[in-house]
Amino acid sequence: MRFFAQTLLVLTIAFSAFVEGNTQQVKNSGDNKMKSWSLGRIDFSIPQQYVLSGRTQNIYYVEVSEISLEGRKPEDVWISKVKDIKEKHIKAGYKEETIQIKEMEPSFNVIFYQDNPTGPELVKFEAQKTVGDNLLEMSFEGQAGKESDMLRGLSVITNAYHEGVSYGFNVGAGSITSTPGLNEYARAGFKDQEYDTKINISTRVATKNLNDHPLDDVKYEIKGLAQDGITLQVLKNEKRVVAGFKGYEGHISLESQNEEPEFRFTWFTPGVTADSFKPEILIKVHGPLKDIEAFKVVWEELLKSLKIRSVN
Give pLDDT tens digits for 56-89: 999 999 999 999 999 999 999 999 999 999 999 8
Give the least confident one: 73-87, 114-128, 216-230, 243-257: 216-230
The answer, yes or no, to whether residue 21 has pLDDT greater than 50, is no
CA-based R_g, the chain, Å? 21
Task: Report pLDDT for 7.
Answer: 37
Higher-confidence residue of 1 and 157: namely 157
Q: Can you list the positions of beta strands (E) in 50-121? A: 50-59, 62-68, 100-105, 108-113
Q: Which domains are present in the chain?
A: 3-55+186-308 (3.40.1000.10), 62-176 (no CATH)
Give pLDDT tens digits for 26-67: 444 445 689 999 999 999 999 999 999 999 999 999 999 999
Neighbours of 15 (CB within 10 A): 15
In angstroms, how far apart are the furthest CA atoms of the chain?
Answer: 61
Q: Report how far Cα 121 is from the mean position of its chain's Cα atoms.
A: 29
Task: Report pLDDT for 190.
Answer: 98
- Is the Cα dihedral 268, 274, 276, 277 positive or negative? negative
Helix, strand, coil content of the chain in percent (nearest 5): 20, 45, 35
Q: What's the CA angle centered on 78, arms 74 and 79, to 5 degrees?
A: 115
Stated pTM of the model: 0.85
102 backbone dihedrals φ, ψ, rounded to 5°: -135, 135
Residues in Cβ contact with 245 at an 8 Å cutoff, skipping those fewer than 6 apart = 269, 271, 278, 281
Give the least confident one: 142-156, 219-233, 262-276, 297-311: 219-233
